[in-house]
Amino acid sequence: MLSTFLSHQRKSFWRSRNRGGSIATQILLGFFMLYFLAVAVGIGFGMNIFLPKVFKGVDILTSFNGIILYYFAFDFVMRLQLQELPTLSIIPYLHLKVPKYKIIGFLNIKALFSAFNLWPIFLFFPFIFTEIIDEYGAFAAVMYVVAILSITVFNNYLILYIKRKSITNVLYTLGGFILIAIFGALEYFKIISLISVSDTVFRAIGERPYLSFAFTILAFAVFKINSDFLLKNLYAEELGAKQEKKVSTDYAFLNRFGKVGELAALELKLILRHKRSRSSVILGLFFLLYGFFFYRQKLIDTDSFGKMMFAGIFMTGVSIIIYGQFMFAWQSSHFDGLLSNKINFKNFIKAKFLLFTIGSTIISLLSTFYGFMSWKLVVMHLVCYLYNIGFGTVIVLYLATFNYKRIDITKAASFNYQGTGATQWLLMFPYALTPMLMYLPFSLLDLPYWGLFTIGAFGVLMLLMRGFWVNLITAKFEKQRYKIAEGFRE
């Protein structure tokens, strides 16, 4: 039956009218995946070099054990944002003699084919088979592998379960974020150190290898819970999706976001099909080289993050800054049409947030090549990324509701100041000064990493409050929309 499902999926792909865009998307994603897998391999084989530099004065095995659960905590956060639900149109199979458990089995197998499940293999296995095997023996090394694979599977199916439950009740997603916030607070206030817990757990596995099966049991339990949920809700969920008559987009990865994804896909088409918006995106990629003008080895060695912060904020948020400064003006030529159509303005604003998050994520991932200069720059870029998607997106969208200047998106971006006004200049003050002011007290106290942590925590807090900000900006947009439309007609 598995081969039949795969055959149907393949035929559906090649017979789709959007296969050209889908192929281009898959090729692009393939290049990204290969790049980050190469980075993971480099880090995996270079842990003997990196760990003593990051954890100075700490035993290398202690530092390795300590980062494992820390990595998977970060993996959980990233999966919650980016991991897609495996899809299969089940309506044609429901009236046939096809057992539901086979459909569920296919969905579960398909869910394993994710880059998130590959990265731990390349990151941790080289060190395990070079250092752990010498310290604890071959059997313990194998049990380390079992534990890491089990945690990977646990995260994989737990995220899928949370996302499927959140389709009917958004509180499950909120619960996931609250859980992350609680662990973050416990770590911050030194009540529980995840690094210490991780070291204790994996040191115990090294001494008593059979303990790794505890993670295997947890992984199997989550897998069973996820499968049972699918078995009970498979028909109802697919039928509900069918009744919504969802329109497919040219960008399959946006389909899982529903109406928000459709609006984001329409705007993405606008970006790529018009000269000025397309030029802005291309210009943003060139700004990735900005760091070479600001990052100096002396500043890196002395942890002078305050002097490098602006470059980090600008590079990881360049898509938000350059494209976001004219947020509603990009649609000025058909803005009246948007107002007259049956569009949920809350979904409209959510689509903007989604595009910002995707753009900033891609740029931030590309900027990881600065890690070859120093691992400290990767940490700083992560903090800047959290700040950008948490706070930057909010301030840009809020100020965009005060921009009434029309722009012509068919003209190039170079030396084109159409649509530029006081709002664009005012935007930079809260955007750039906020992280500087937050970092300043810690810089004066010579606590640079606490400063970075504070900025990152602020970004995460703003991200957790995104629902509140969406409602606030939606209300402001509804109040200002006629003034904006009037300005765009001039």
The number of folded domains in the chain is 2
* Residue 267 and residue 238 in one domain: no
Residues 56 and 137 occupy one common structural domain: yes
pTM here is 0.51
- 365 closest CA partner among 351, 380, 378: 378
pLDDT at 173: 55
Per DSSP, the three-state class of 328 is coil
261 and 236 together in one domain: no
Say how far apart CA 409 and CA 331 lie, in whole Å: 9
Rg of the chain over all Cα atoms, to the nearest angstrom:
24
- pLDDT tens per residue across all 490 residues of the chain: 656 656 666 666 555 544 444 565 567 667 777 877 888 888 888 888 888 888 888 888 988 998 898 888 888 877 776 676 665 555 566 556 667 767 777 778 878 878 888 889 999 999 999 889 988 899 999 999 999 999 999 999 988 888 777 655 555 555 656 666 676 666 666 677 778 888 899 999 999 999 999 999 999 999 999 888 877 776 544 434 444 444 444 566 676 677 777 777 777 777 776 666 666 676 667 777 778 778 888 888 888 888 888 888 888 888 788 777 777 777 777 677 777 777 778 888 888 888 888 888 888 888 888 888 888 888 999 999 999 988 888 888 888 887 777 776 555 444 334 444 444 556 667 777 888 888 888 888 889 889 899 999 999 898 888 888 888 988 888 888 877 777 777 6
Question: In terms of domains, do 104 and 81 share one?
Answer: yes
Select from 243, 261, 279 the last residue of a domain.
Answer: 243
Tokens 């194998």 correspond to 142
Q: Which residue range forms the structural domain that includes residue 79?
A: 2-243
* Residue 303 and residue 203 share a domain: no
Q: Which DSSP symbol is given to 369?
A: G
The answer to whether the CB of 407 falls within 8 A of the CB of 329 is yes
Q: Residues 449, 308: one domain? A: yes
Residues 325 and 365 in one domain: yes
For residue 35, the Cα-to-chain-centroid distance in whole angstroms is: 17
Q: 243, 276, 303 — which closes off a domain?
A: 243
Nearest one of 116, 150, 149, 145 to 220, comparing CA atoms:
150
Q: Which of 243, 275, 307 is the last residue of a domain?
A: 243
Answer whether 313's CB lies under 8 Å from 435's CB: yes
Long-range contacts of 82-88 (CB under 8 A, 24+ apart): 82/361, 83/114, 83/116, 83/156, 83/159, 83/160, 83/163, 84/253, 84/256, 85/111, 85/160, 85/163, 85/164, 85/256, 86/110, 86/111, 86/160, 87/255, 87/256, 88/5, 88/9
Q: Write down the residue that tokens 């204790």 correspond to.
A: 200
Please give the full DSSP string across 274-288, using - where no structure is assigned.
Answer: SHHHHHHHHHHHHGG
Q: Give yes or no for a contact between 65 and 203, defined as CB atoms under 8 angstroms apart.
A: yes
The CA-CA-CA angle for residues 30, 34, 36, to 5°, reads 120
Instruction: Please check whether residues 98 and 168 belong to one and the same domain.
Output: yes
Q: Do 353 and 442 belong together in one domain?
A: yes
Alpha carbon 295 to chain centroid, angstroms: 25
Closest by CA to 62, choosing from 208, 260, 261, 196, is 196
Residue 249: predicted pLDDT: 46
In a shared domain, residues 457 and 329? yes
Question: What is d(CA 348, CA 364) in angstroms, rounded to the nearest whole number?
Answer: 25
What is the widest separation between alpha-carbon atoms in the chain?
A: 76
| Burial call 348-357: b when 16+ CB within 10 Å, e when fewer | bbbbbbbbbb
User: With contact defined as beta carbons under 8 Å apart, do 111 and 169 qualify?
Assistant: no
The C-alpha angle with vertex 330 and arms to 327 and 331, in degrees rounded to 5, equals: 110
Start-to-end CA span in the chain (Å): 61
How many of the other CB atoms lie within 10 Å of CB of 259?
17
What per-residue confidence (pLDDT) applies to 247?
42
CA distance 267 to 388: 20
Pair 263, 236 in one domain: no
My answer on whether 273 and 422 are in the same domain is yes
- CA dist 445 and 318 (Å) reads 30
pLDDT for the residue numbered 425: 53
Separation CA 8–CA 290 (nearest Å): 47
SS (H, E, C) 99-116: CHHHHHHHHHHHHCCCHH
16: its two tokens: 């789709």
Q: Which amino acid is at 146?
A: V
pLDDT of amino acid 252? 61
